[in-house]
Amino acid sequence: MSATWWAVLGGAAACYLTKLAGHRVPAHWLAQPRVARVSALVTVALLAALVGVQTFTSGGALVLDARVVALAVAAVALALRAPFIVVVILAAAVAALLRAVG
Amino acid sequence: MPDLDRRRALRQAASVSVATGLYGISFGALAVTAGLSTLQAQALSVLMFTGGSQFAFIGIVGAGGGGLAAAATATLLGARNALYGAVVSPFLQVRGLRRLAAAHVTIDESTAVSTAQRDPQTARLGFWWAGLGVFVLWNACTLVGSVVGDALGDPRRWGLDAAAGAAFLGLLWPRLAARRAQVVAAGAVVVALALTPVTPAGVPVLAAAVVAVVVGWRIPAAASRATVEDT
């Protein structure tokens, strides 16, 4: 089995056990403000870091290209409350268009 | 339960399922362009079944990161599902196999629909219909997306690399209401970009999570109530 398959199955198992733990541990363990706070902020930090890495890096180097413009357009679309799928397609279209013309 | 409440819960579950299912198409397409096989993309949607974690997994793999970093990032991003489990389990009242099934569909959408209901019975209805509805549509659309993604060829030509960043921004956006969340997000981007040239792929994103743990842990107790409410 390839390394990717191990990661798929291992990651899936870890995610499932996390969900199950929430159903099984006493509610007051997870109801602590500090736990809720750290969990919410970890989600924010990981997603923000992924936005940064997906948009500004390529092959381990910092890069500015069509993706930056596409992300800006996506941000405007989100601010205008566009649905998720529209935001994603719009970003792809902007990057594809910029590459096609230049 | 009143018929009106029941119908409203079902309507909410249906609209959430359709909206979420649709972005399953983008997940499937991005998964195969990140280098996963159609079967691996599908395995993530069936077995991992938590959108943010799945996007994170393929993002790390696509950037050349190792399997361990991809699985670890996905798991950390799924940590919030444990909190959802603690929220929904008191009114779900399930044991045995049903609890194992309930855990699998404990995600953003099922929790949101169920906690929006007024009584426990409607909350249960909302949880199951949203959870199972998203599961079915998310998986069907993943398959469509991965087949389409495979047929597209060079992902850059179609701007799919830019779509990945936009997908993460879309997941992040609703969580940025609080000032503290905005600060953590900015700090995480800076840390991740600063580490990118000097660490293996996957490490920068994991390191950014440390920012959140430090900030979240150190907020004085007096500020904590307000923080929980706005994050």
Q: What are the residues whose beta carbons fall under 8 Å from the beta carbon of B16, sequence distance 6 or more?
A: B109, B112, B113, B130, B133, B134
Residue A101 lies in a domain: yes
DSSP three-state, residue B119: coil
Position B129 in a domain: yes
Is A92 inside any structural domain?
yes
Each residue's pLDDT tens digit, A27-47: 777 778 888 888 889 999 999
Residue A91 domain-assigned?
A: yes
**What residues contact B59, with CB distance under 8 A and at least 6 apart?**
A50, A53, A54, B34, B164, B168, B205
Q: Is residue A5 part of a domain?
A: no
Report whether pLDDT(B225) > 90: no
Same domain, B146 and B201: no
Alpha carbon distance A39, B209 (integer Å): 10
Question: B residues 83-112 near A, CB within 8 Å?
Answer: 83-86, 88-90, 92, 99-100, 102-104, 106
In this structure, the answer to whether residues B16 and B124 fall within a common structural domain is yes
Q: Output B217 or B141, whichever has higher pLDDT.
A: B141
Domains contained in chain A, number:
1
Asked if the Cβ–Cβ distance from A11 to B70 is below 8 Å, we say: yes
Residue A57, beta-bridge partner list = A62
A83 is a domain residue: yes
In B, residues 177-196, which contact A (CB 8 Å cutoff)?
180-181, 184-189, 191-193, 196
| Distance in angstroms (rounded) separating the CA atoms of residues B24 and B155 | 17
- Do B186 and B79 fall into the same domain? no
Sequence-ordered strand ranges (E) for chain A: 57-58, 61-62
Gap from A57 CA to chain B (nearest CA, Å): 8
Same domain, B124 and B216: no
pLDDT digits (tens, 9 = 90+) for B61-118: 998 899 999 999 999 999 989 989 988 998 899 999 999 999 999 999 999 899 888 8
Give the pLDDT of residue B220: 64
Q: What is the pLDDT of residues B151-162, one digit of tens each?
A: 987 888 889 889
Closest residue, chain B, to A60 (C-alpha): B197
Q: Does B128 lie in the same domain as B41?
A: yes
Question: Quick one: B149 and B221 in the same domain?
Answer: no
Task: Extract the tokens encoding A70.
Answer: 């596409």
Per the structure, how many domains does chain B have? 2
Based on the fold, state whether residues B117 and B15 are members of the same structural domain.
Answer: yes
Range of the domain at B155: 3-160
Q: Is residue A90 part of a domain?
A: yes
For chain A, what is the radius of gyration of the CA atoms? 19
B17 shares a domain with B115? yes
Domain that holds residue A82: 65-102
d(CA B171, CA B165): 10
A11/A25: higher pLDDT: A11
Residue A98 inside a domain? The answer is yes
The Cα–Cα gap between A84 and B26 comes to: 10
Report pLDDT digits (tens) over B14-67.
988 988 887 888 899 999 999 999 999 999 999 999 999 999 999 999 988 999
Residue-wise pLDDT tens digits, B164-210: 899 889 989 999 999 999 999 999 999 999 999 999 888 999 999 98
- Helix axis angle, B160-172 to A33-56, nearest 10°: 160
The answer to whether B84 touches A27, Cβ cutoff 8 Å, is: no
Based on the fold, state whether residues B27 and B126 are members of the same structural domain.
Answer: yes
The verdict on residue A78 lying in a domain is yes
Contact B71 A61 (CB under 8 A): no
**pLDDT tens, position by position, A46-91:** 999 999 999 999 888 999 999 999 999 999 999 999 988 899 999 9
The interface predicted TM-score (ipTM) is: 0.91
Residue B198, domain member (yes or no)? yes
Query: Which pLDDT score is estimated for B153?
Result: 79
pLDDT confidence of B226, banded at 50, 70, 90?
Answer: very low
Question: Beta-carbon neighbour count of residue B198 at 10 Å?
Answer: 9
